[in-house]
Amino acid sequence: MRVFLSSPTVLPAFCLLGCLAASPALRPVMHQPSGHSDDAISVTSENAEYCARLRKNVDARLAAPPAAIPLGIMEDARHLRAQGDLLCTQGHIRAGIERLRRALVLLKHAPEPR
The amino acid sitting at 1 is M
Asked whether the beta carbons of 95 and 76 are under 8 A apart, the reply is: no
Determine the Cα–Cα distance for residues 34 and 17; give it in Å rounded to an integer: 33
pLDDT confidence of residue 12: 54
Mean pLDDT value across the chain: 75
Q: What is the per-residue pLDDT across 33-50, written as a single tens digit (0 to 9) for each? A: 544 444 555 556 788 899
Q: Which whole number is the average pLDDT over 13-42?
A: 51
| pTM of this prediction exceeds 0.85 | no
Cα distance between the two ends of the chain: 83
Q: How far is CA 39 from CA 29, 35, 36, 57, 74, in A?
A: 19, 10, 9, 21, 30
Q: Cα–Cα distances in Å, from 34 out to 29, 37, 38?
A: 15, 6, 9
Range scoring the smallest mean pLDDT among 3-12, 23-32, 72-81: 23-32
Please count the helices (runs of H) and the strands (runs of E) in the chain: 4, 0
- 50-97 residue pLDDT tens: 999 999 999 999 887 767 788 888 999 999 999 999 999 999 999 999
